[in-house]
Amino acid sequence: MSTRDISEDRKKVVVIGGGFAGLNFVKHLDSEHFDVTLIDKNNYHSFPPLFYQVASSGLDPASICFPLRRELRKRHNTRVNFNMGEVESIDTSARIVHTPLDDIPYDILVVAAGTTNNFFNMNYLAKSVYTIKSTSEALRCRNDILALLERAAIAPTSAERRKLLNFVVIGGGPTGVEIAGAIGEMKRYVLPREYPTISQDELTITIVEGSDRLLRTMSEDASKSALESLKSLLVNVKLGVNMKEYSPENSCVTLADDSKLDASMVIWTAGVTATPFAWDDGKGESDKDTPAFIGHGGRLKTDASCQVEGLPDVYALGDIAIMTGDPDFPMGHPQLAQVALQQGKRLALNLTARERGKESKVKPFRYNDKGSMATVGRNRAVVDLKHLHFHGFSAWLVWMFIHLISILGMRNKITVLINWIWAYFNYSTSLRLLIHPSRYPLSDDLRFFTESTEDKKE
């Protein structure tokens, strides 16, 4: 456990996940009454809404990531310990969280591990498509986009260049629209300046969405505006059709209507599922049946207090939780950052109030929907508020402001702002650097930190 002094009088709180929900929970919890251990597989907090900008060379990854230890040190939470590791299993009977390097006991467990990619039973896609659910995934996407451009720049024929530069984005939600728009801006503005040997019509971007419109969780006005903006950035849009199959060997995507798309790179943004854990109830039945508290999309069912159904002193926050008790959201809350932030704060205040003996201050969670937004590129964004919908330049300014103030760290805010201002006026950036990490040497002592989850399973 921690080298810090731990009092038997204070409850041990273990938080899994240092994202929006977990970190906001820790910030608002009164550490005078609790000893807290925060577990995360990374030693930094990242800002997922801007992963697509890392993937498209718009931002440096360090600009949207912030060291967790520094953030925890800034707070008055002097009894917060950080444990870098990936949770392998949770024993709810013995109240222990198991990681590859440690067994961590708890009195109260808060699960805020977020989501991972959902390939809808096409599990082979995990090794053949690009995803942008993490900083490392966004970096891999960026490197290979640049590598394809560099290869195409020296290709001797137009046919070879066209074969290398077919980008297909699967999923027309905010992330899909944003990454398609970012690559569209590269096609329209960057190619003529930095890759003069590549013609614009040799690079194609196609976004595929299974429903009848883009941004289906937003208003129809937002969907229409996003569609128009993508077309202005030379992006092809296919609506009402799903991907049926992808063959990386043939660089081909087959759609549900049996039509085919050439695809040198497929970027998957079509869905998410809750981060899975092995749950052990002490009866040895964890591997036989899906626990009753796991609901749609692998999310943990919770009541209005964020407690997981049937598990005393176990709570779930953010994207990994599904609360059906809110009358305004009977099917569960949207998997958005603002839900995670609000739930983290509410649970922290409730637990602190209970520990102080002030039950009157314990309140059920009620989501305050502040609206949603997405950007398609420079001067192109859509914003949905409760009674107001707008798009274009004003929406883009609002989008920039909200995202800028939400990033942790003043240095990061300034760096992002400078990058945005510089890119706005000349579309030039020093971030289009193709830097491949060295694989060797590998240290056995550090293998848990250097291997991916997929590598460990193999």
Q: Is the pLDDT of residue 369 over 60?
A: yes
Q: Parallel, antiparallel, or unpaired for β 34-40 and 11-16?
A: parallel
Sheet holding 204-209, edge to edge: 130-131, 265-268, 166-170, 204-209, 235-239
Choose the weakest-confidence range: 223-227, 303-307, 406-410, 420-424: 420-424
The string of pLDDT tens digits covering residues 242-284 is 999 999 999 999 999 999 999 999 999 998 999 999 998 766 5
Q: What is the pLDDT of residue 1?
A: 40
Percentage of the chain beyond pLDDT 70 is: 91
- Domains (range + CATH), the chain: 11-117+273-361 (3.50.50.60), 123-270 (3.50.50.100)
377-388 mean pLDDT: 89
**Residue 98: which of 301, 277, 265, 350 has the closest Cα?**
277
**Residue 82: which of 135, 14, 143 has the closest Cα?**
14
309, HSE (Cβ side, Cα atoms, 13 Å) = 15
Q: Is the pLDDT of residue 458 over 60?
A: no
The whole model's pTM is what? 0.89
Q: Are 246 and 267 in contact (CB under 8 A)?
A: no
155-172 mean pLDDT: 96
Choose the weakest-confidence range: 115-119, 201-205, 284-288: 284-288
353-381 mean pLDDT: 91
- 162 CA to centre of own chain: 31
Q: What is the pLDDT of residue 3?
A: 39
What is the spatial distance between Cα 192 and Cα 442, in angstroms, rounded to a whole number? Answer: 41
Confidence of residue 418 (pLDDT cuts 50, 70, 90): confident
Q: Is the pLDDT of residue 2 over 50?
A: no
**What is the phi/psi pair of residue 325, to 5°?**
-85, -10
Q: What is the pLDDT of residue 279?
A: 92
What is the distance in angstroms between the CA of the first residue and the CA of the last residue of the chain?
A: 29
Choose the weakest-confidence range: 73-77, 149-153, 385-389: 73-77
**Quick one: tokens of 220?**
């129809």
What is the spatial distance between Cα 193 and Cα 216, in angstroms, rounded to a whole number? Answer: 35
Q: Are 137 and 178 in contact (CB under 8 A)?
A: no
